């Protein structure tokens, strides 16, 4: 019995490790796709458990949004046409989860959403919305 239990435990650890590796690979691929779509406008990265989005204009960092990934609502990611923006919202129990630093205005504040403005790039915005949903679903499955 003890030997059977050890065998089962080894198989379980091996399978979970392989699933975790596959999921990490998918997560990295999703992040690469997001950054390719945002090239020249913003850069998205994961720092510990945070999603960090750095916005640049003329090569200069002007804004940084930081949010714990688990506090975003994957179902509420949407493209808002009137604003020309892809919007990632905080989950209902985590209002104000996005910490925004506006470097040029020297302002810091908390917001209930992270918005990425994409004027004149509706096709990119639609694709980016889909990819952010995939990214958040993959991350939050862990």
Residue-range domains of the chain with CATH: 2-141 (2.30.29)
| Chain segment 52-109, per-residue pLDDT in tens | 999 998 889 999 999 999 999 999 999 999 999 999 999 988 889 999 999 988 999 9
| Chain segment 44-66, per-residue pLDDT in tens | 999 989 999 999 988 899 999 99
Taking CA atoms, 64 is separated from 22, 41, 67, in Å, by 30, 12, 10
Would you tell me the crossing angle of helices 122-141 and 2-37 to the nearest 10 degrees?
160
Average pLDDT, the chain: 85
Tokens of 45: 């990265």
Count the neighbouring beta carbons within 10 Å of the beta carbon of residue 101. Answer: 16
* Cα–Cα dist 22/13, whole Å: 14
Non-local CB neighbours of 14 within 8 Å, separated by 6+ positions: none
* Cα–Cα dist 122/139, whole Å: 25
pTM of the predicted protein model: 0.80
Q: Which residue has the higher pLDDT, 131 or 104?
A: 131
pLDDT band at 9, cuts 50/70/90? very low
């Amino acid at each position: 019995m003890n030997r059977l239990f050890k065998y089962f435990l080894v198989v379980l650890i091996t399978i979970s490790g392989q699933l975790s590796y596959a999921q990490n690979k998918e997560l990295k691929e999703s992040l690469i796709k997001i950054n390719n779509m945002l090239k020249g406008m913003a850069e998205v990265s994961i720092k510990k458990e945070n999603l960090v989005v750095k916005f640049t204009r003329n090569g200069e960092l002007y804004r940084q949004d930081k949010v714990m990934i688990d506090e975003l609502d994957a179902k509420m990611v949407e493209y808002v046409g009137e604003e020309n923006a892809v919007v990632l919202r905080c989950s209902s129990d985590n209002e104000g989860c996005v910490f925004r630093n506006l470097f040029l205005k020297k302002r810091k504040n908390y917001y209930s959403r992270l918005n990425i403005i994409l004027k004149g790039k509706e096709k990119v915005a639609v694709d980016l919305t889909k990819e952010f949903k995939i990214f958040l679903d993959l991350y939050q499955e862990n």
